A = this chain, B = another copy of it.
Amino acid sequence: MKLLLAPLTALSLAICIASATAREQGNLDLGPAMVRMAELEIEPAQLDAYKAILAAEQATSVRLEPGVLMLHSVSIADDPTKIRLLEVYANKSAYESHVRSPHFLKYKALTANMVRSLRLIDTDPILLCSKTMATRVPQAVCLSPTK
């Protein structure tokens, strides 16, 4: 039991120390991140199908790609066919790798006839703050651009 637990305990201790360090140091450096918004309009009859395909692509991208830091999607309450995305990539090459990934290409192919319009908006991040939900005691982590 002791042998089995040892590596796990060392890892979790490292995680705990990393969390405490992040908390004490305040904002983390976002580095040369690429942050973008997207505004889409979806064919009304395809909305449910589109949202399911989009959600699957988001989850796969953030789970599998080290450089995909956030993918958030919402629909406008008053006009649910209008979708907004906030996308955060570690850097430009992480984005370029993302758009060549099999799951992104699959998303593009499956939704090609569902998207009425797509507007990509380059942005400069001011501050990205999230409660970290992967820890039992939620912690705040804020990412700010390099000064």
Q: Give chain A's interface residues, CB within 8 Å of chain B.
A: 5, 8-9, 11-19, 22-23, 26-28, 35, 37, 51, 54-55, 58-59, 61-63, 66, 68-78, 80, 83-84, 86, 121-144
Contacts and interface: CB of A to CB of B under 8 A. Distances in A.
A123 B84 contact: yes
A61 B140 CA distance: 9
A45 to B, nearest CB: 17
A130 B127 contact: no
A76 B72 CA distance: 17
B18 A124 contact: no
A11 B20 CA distance: 12
Nearest to A66: B138
